[in-house]
Structure 1
């Protein structure tokens, strides 16, 4: 059986083999995972995928079938394949917890291990965290405009593969959704499953009214009727009212009941349906909606005064349609030569692609009174900030922009937490429920300006003075080679 050890790019394995024969495969090094832009042109990213990553790292190994396949390619030598038989992760990983709000250039994940282990982890690790953070961020954007409405993840049939559908549904929960239609995700992660009926149910009976009555007979406590199969206002809503009256008279009408709209002018239809329900004595009937929804359309519908309080969001969420990939990268920040750590930097003609050297962490600054986030500072590991002293914020990119945060007015939080230490898992992943609660707390630390869908404010993120000086020193030394 093939394993996830092969869930990588060819060049990772060829580099591993080359380093093995050069005697450099066991060289200790440090890699950082970060991203350069927020997806959706937004003001933040929600970190997700750590639990999935932990499972991958814990179980990574090469099976006999993996090794036989590698041998069949004619690329890999027997001595290297013998080495891979014993392969397992022996290093350390530090990460921001799932649900954390993060920003461009910040270290989300720091990997300290051998060169070959770092190379093998890169592809699958990047795939996991890029995808799941992308969907969690999209979901949070939807939640920010939906307020306290119910949000249902409906995307499985449009997901780009089973894994994307299953883990995308989990990521949507981290982003603030209430449940999913995805049964496998519900089973694997203990998520609430939600759903109603399809048009095919209604079309399976002689009349829509009979379809509604039959559904109410079987599922009286999950009574959301799909009302737009034929004509929403002339047939669907009146038929729903008939069923609600019959159940009320029989004493079986549940506390949660209503209709779902899946087509047409959702703002107009929902308002008219609500009027009809109120006139019939059912003002608390829920009106749910689906049909290619996303945060932008939901925001527009709310501006138009729609009467919708439950939203099924599918395609545009699970595919992150308007920003379908996240550009997270994994770059070497240094390596050991004997006992000496040598910081490394990736240079580029594109300034934003120049990496930050050294073993790093992120310190987050909060206003002591409001609890709101004020800034993030990328530091060299071991640096600290004393809250009892004034803190001067100044960017080496825009040194004319600076501000002082007065002593005693702020708190400091270290963002990266140990996950693996010398190959041992030292982190207990929280329950999904706890991650969701933490994610809600995280988004509440942002002022509304950072949560705007269009042209959000940019969070203040800067390098520490020591990191900036180290970066400048290495850049100057490297540039001298080309003069």
Structure 2
């Protein structure tokens, strides 16, 4: 795939800018892999077939949180990883200390650079079970190495982006305030620093407007948001003095935490007093935050008291172990909340802590040709779709109708009606007569060359919104969503059945 010099320069400048971000800069992740990846690499090297060409698909099998879709995220981290992937002298020294690998193999690792091809779904796209999100082509030597790291990047960020969107969607059900912002506030509850930083990035992709995580803000230009903690209030002789000191320090951004002692009897009256003092100085109280107690009752009482004091434009921020279910319940109870701070349940995806994407070989070189391969299991859900494939999204009247997985060399004849069928219950069929086509897998690397210009985080957010606008509400609803169909082309389905049939005699002989 030839690209113009101007385009190549833009791609190079963008990846170098990404690599210079604080969260990426000077990081070496060659050993971010499971040992069995290295042992398989060594086994192929020892057997002499290390340069055998293979194809791997990355996909997931089940939507998280009983959702109807996943927001694909983490591609930027994958691209950065592959672009910079190499073994340092310290890495080689450590591998030598394991006394498992030959010096010839370690020398091969010293020279390692990613030289494969990657096609991927654009970050921020809606994706569905069993369809390739990323498709890798290259030598078995290099594609074995990258499996664990790539899965960790895509699994984590896609999970958090999807969870964030569910929470943002819940906040939008408040008809009185349908644009109520959601702020990610989970740094202290994330499993580790990387999870907090990249989780904040994913949450921003999923629709959060900001984060409390300053390093995420620095790394990804996400707006940072924060007020004060209870320790600030406790460190002063009185709550009123604490409020005054904070307002003096930040007169243009005054948000006060009112639940350290008593929201109704102390916190709100003191906030109102400080608001009056600010008004006399030509300033204003922006918001109050409630972090405990009955948020529905307290927010309604706070709104009443603030309005009576003429502070109708003062916002009410709610936090305290919120998730999409609690937010919906609070809105149904008439809670007077204008923005939501969500921590633990978002940054950990607490009720569904793993996406479970997998990385499976679907084709390998035999006798000089790339031949499809299949993984068979007693669990039908774990039987893979063989071959080198593309994913096509089919649109009818502007709305996505289905995704179709096809073999790479298949072409649709759009002058003819297209019959789709369920890959399991094949009697379930429908015919599309007029449809538009979108190729979902875009070229990212071709023979080791980066050919894709990474979008900005804001562009990814806009892509999410655009994608969602093309799906009917039945697919997007958070509870019992309509199942979006991912079908196989007839050629792919036939190939799968053929390989399954060929496999059965081998199993019986074995």
TM-score (norm 2): 0.92
Matched ranges for 1:160-175 at <5 A: 160-175=191-206
Matched ranges for 1:177-326 at <5 A: 177-253=208-284, 257-326=286-355
Contact 1:47 1:98 (C-alpha < 8 Å) held by counterparts: yes
Matched ranges for 1:145-160 at <5 A: 145-147=170-172, 148-160=179-191
Partner of 2:11: none
SS in 1 for 2:313: coil
Partner of 1:96: 121
Q: Structure 1: which 5+ runs fail to align? A: none
Partner of 1:449: 474
Matched ranges for 1:102-141 at <5 A: 102-141=127-166
1:11 to 36, 58, 68: 36
| Offset from partner CA, 1:382-441 (integer Å, 9 cap, x none) | 32334443222211311222222222xx21100000000000111111000110111111
Name the CA distance, whole Å, in 1 between partners of 2:166 and 2:414. 32
Name the CA distance, whole Å, in 1 between partners of 2:27 and 2:484. 44
Name the CA distance, whole Å, in 2 between partners of 1:215 and 1:385. 64
Q: CA 1:386–1:222 in 2, change beyond 3 Å: closer, same or farther? A: farther
Contact 2:168 2:181 (C-alpha < 8 Å) held by counterparts: no
Partner of 1:394: 421
Name the CA distance, whole Å, in 1 between partners of 2:443 and 2:262. 57
The answer to which of 21-30 and 244-253 deviates more is 244-253
Query: Which runs of 4 or more aligned residues in structure 1 lie more than 4 Å from their structure 2 counterparts after TM superposition?
Result: none
How many correspondences in the alignment?
Answer: 477
1:340 to 356, 369, 377: 369
Name the CA distance, whole Å, in 2 between partners of 1:197 and 1:384. 59
Name the CA distance, whole Å, in 2 between partners of 1:267 and 1:447. 32
Contact 2:60 2:357 (C-alpha < 8 Å) held by counterparts: yes
Structure 1 residue 50 corresponds to structure 2 residue 75: yes
TM-superposed deviation, 1:2: 8.9
| Offset from partner CA, 1:219-260 (integer Å, 9 cap, x none) | 122221101000001111111111112222332126xx1100
| Offset from partner CA, 1:355-384 (integer Å, 9 cap, x none) | 01111111001222xx22211111111323
TM-score (norm 1): 0.97
Partner of 2:408: 381
| Offset from partner CA, 1:247-286 (integer Å, 9 cap, x none) | 22332126xx110000000011001110111111111210
SS in 2 for 1:6: coil
2:52 to 27, 35, 52: 27
Contact 1:3 1:66 (C-alpha < 8 Å) held by counterparts: no
Name the CA distance, whole Å, in 1 between partners of 2:507 and 2:457. 51
TM-superposed deviation, 1:337: 2.3
SS in 1 for 2:507: coil
SS in 1 for 2:405: strand
Contact 1:144 1:451 (C-alpha < 8 Å) held by counterparts: no
SS in 2 for 1:428: coil
Contact 2:420 2:489 (C-alpha < 8 Å) held by counterparts: no
Structure 1 residue 63 corresponds to structure 2 residue 63: no
